[in-house]
Structure 1
């Protein structure tokens, strides 16, 4: 279990223990199998997590969820699950990314209609559709349109790299209600998988985190009633940025969990493997490398938790969230690379999990804003 500078409540201690046990029993043993399968969503693991209350722990109690709405607890959970496997861990908690813009912009009716179905043992998969072929980190440049018609909108466009697309039953889709504006023209819409005019591409072949299958989403005049628009026209970008502040911190926790897994694996290996007549850990170069790994993980976790606490206390955290994601994701890349080096040739082999984890954590330097974008966000929020 990870350490934290802040004391945990009894409820937080219990859910962290539950997630740790689930990660050990259900997630870690399946990581390699899912990675080899490449384009198969492990819905059975998601279903098992739903039955024990892990997939909806972040949904408010008022809508049937676990009531852990604070970002700090979400980080604690995400770290434990991604310690088991980064892709599967992120899949299990993917409902939180869908729920965040609804909680930020939705009416009470929308929250009840769209969040309540996410709770309980039969919770569906969900998806958040922002990225397009020509618009990644720059979400204000999306070109998918939402054209006003009687009683609603027609959505037309193409989304790319959408996690859970095709497998998900419920979607938040961002589109332009005013094509002449950038951020001020972005609106958010709630859409069901069976909506006429919405189709999906083939699974995209990915380097890592293959438990989350990504597809393109094609929108051909998909009708959305006005009652399923989130917030007012043009408020979608605000909801998205609010979601990003949270999701970037939570993804930072995911990166910390994966880094911790790689560090622990390398440490155990170094304590049992001999080279030149001595245990590997007795060689100064290896010992120093492990020391760097441990130090960076602790520093990244502290920054992630600090950012989470600031958000939970109502503070402005856009720059801090970017710092947390940047530091944690680059720490995860450093640590997984160092773990491969520590295992030597075996680290390069698919017989051991560290090479997979190195591929998996690369995504954390890209999704929800690349490291370059995080540095830009930080520079614009310097005090």
Structure 2
């Protein structure tokens, strides 16, 4: 098991088992494939997805009654996410992406919807899923989406365009957020369940990204897409409330992901500094390098503990909007710092593709953007002052 500060929280046998499984999968399956997947540019590593599904990683966060692993608490999800993202940030985020789809279904869905849409995600043949919120003109401000859902006698007709949707075109199931009342902002947002093969759904070409290339992002085009009322999640206008709860969870889990890549960068730089000699001694004995590594380790501990606090509050049913924002802000900026610091420690070699810290530096930049930019996180926190 990895060196987590578990003296703070007593872990169950089940938690230790899933953490050990995730750490082993990251070491044996993810890390050896990470560079290949990154250089493929736009490519979903389906073989890794299937291996992860077979051992229960893609569905560990789903409730047992729908065939999942039963680790529904955010705290355990954070423990697993950190371990997977030590292997590779993009692949780790990919393998846990069904949890992001499941959150609004669990928050707003009927029992029948939960059974119909979550049960297929459990087991060795789990399909991929996606959450469709962002639009070309609506990113962090989710209340400003312009995709519409017009009510008809047969259900709802959806029209609009989504952008930067993770797993779009690869996923078979989607949660789509649209306006049932275009005159309203947040109070007009409603969530819908949608299948990939529904008539009127189309996808753009894969977007070419700086990092986290294991996750394919595309635009989603909705043209007179008929959705039956049975596929509406919650009541009309409840979508934004469900989305905000989903954001609190996803931001916390992404805090754990960012902590994972920061830890990977620190451990790699530390080991390199122990083995590499300059001026007749290991570079870890040079004060500038040692102090940089000390800063990395300290920031990682801060990020992890803030993430754990947000997760605990969510699991207790407490408001955690500010805590989730603080966790994501701190962890994402820690990931950016630690990956840069790893490059700095390796010098010219860190700037080359001979070592993975070059890729991790690119991958980490997204953590300061997705699920709300760092500026938005500061805004959320300021509203709690």
TM-score normalised by L of structure 1: 0.99
Other-structure match for 1:131:
134
List gaps (5 residues or longer) in structure 2: none
Other-structure match for 2:377:
374
Q: What's the offset of the Cα at 1:275?
A: 1.2
Q: Helix, strand or coil: the match of 2:210? A: coil
Other-structure match for 1:237:
240
Q: Return the alpha-carbon distance in structure 2 between the equivalents of residues 13 and 350 of structure 1.
A: 34
Q: How many residues align?
A: 382
Matches within 5 A, 1:187-266: 187-266=190-269
Matches within 5 A, 1:15-26: 15-26=18-29
Q: Helix, strand or coil: the match of 1:344? A: helix
Other-structure match for 2:354:
351
Q: Return the alpha-carbon distance in structure 2 between the equivalents of residues 223 and 309 of structure 1.
A: 40
Q: Helix, strand or coil: the match of 1:315? A: coil
Question: Is residue 2:313 matched to residue 1:314?
Answer: no
Q: What's the offset of the Cα at 1:2?
A: 4.0
Q: Return the alpha-carbon distance in structure 2 between the equivalents of residues 314 and 226 of structure 1.
A: 30
Other-structure match for 2:4:
3
Other-structure match for 2:294:
291
Q: Return the alpha-carbon distance in structure 1 between the equivalents of residues 238 and 148 of structure 2.
A: 15
Q: Return the alpha-carbon distance in structure 2 between the equivalents of residues 256 and 142 of structure 1.
A: 31
Q: Helix, strand or coil: the match of 2:313? A: helix
Q: 1:50 aligns with which of 53, 59, 73?
A: 53
Q: Return the alpha-carbon distance in structure 2 between the equivalents of residues 13 and 267 of structure 1.
A: 26
1:17-45, Cα deviation, whole Å (9 max, x unpaired): 00000000110001100000000000110
Other-structure match for 1:70:
73
Q: Helix, strand or coil: the match of 2:221? A: strand
Q: Return the alpha-carbon distance in structure 1 between the equivalents of residues 66 and 259 of structure 2.
A: 30
Q: Return the alpha-carbon distance in structure 2 between the equivalents of residues 280 and 82 of structure 1.
A: 27
Q: Return the alpha-carbon distance in structure 2 between the equivalents of residues 107 and 9 of structure 1.
A: 31
Q: 1:162 aligns with which of 165, 182, 187?
A: 165
**Runs of 4+ with >6 A deviation:** none
1:165-191, Cα deviation, whole Å (9 max, x unpaired): 000000000000000000000000000
Other-structure match for 2:146:
143
Q: What's the offset of the Cα at 1:381?
A: 1.4
List gaps (5 residues or longer) in structure 1: none
Q: Return the alpha-carbon distance in structure 1 between the equivalents of residues 382 and 180 of structure 2.
A: 30
Q: Helix, strand or coil: the match of 1:374? A: helix
1:189-213, Cα deviation, whole Å (9 max, x unpaired): 0000000000000000000000000
Q: Return the alpha-carbon distance in structure 2 between the equivalents of residues 219 and 279 of structure 1.
A: 58
Matches within 5 A, 1:321-332: 321-332=324-335
Q: Return the alpha-carbon distance in structure 2 between the equivalents of residues 6 and 350 of structure 1.
A: 38
Question: Is residue 2:80 matched to residue 1:87?
Answer: no
Q: Return the alpha-carbon distance in structure 1 between the equivalents of residues 295 and 211 of structure 2.
A: 25
Q: What's the offset of the Cα at 1:151?
A: 2.5
Q: Return the alpha-carbon distance in structure 1 between the equivalents of residues 102 and 303 of structure 2.
A: 26
1:336-383, Cα deviation, whole Å (9 max, x unpaired): 00000000000000110001001101111000000000000000012x
Q: Return the alpha-carbon distance in structure 1 between the equivalents of residues 278 and 352 of structure 2.
A: 18
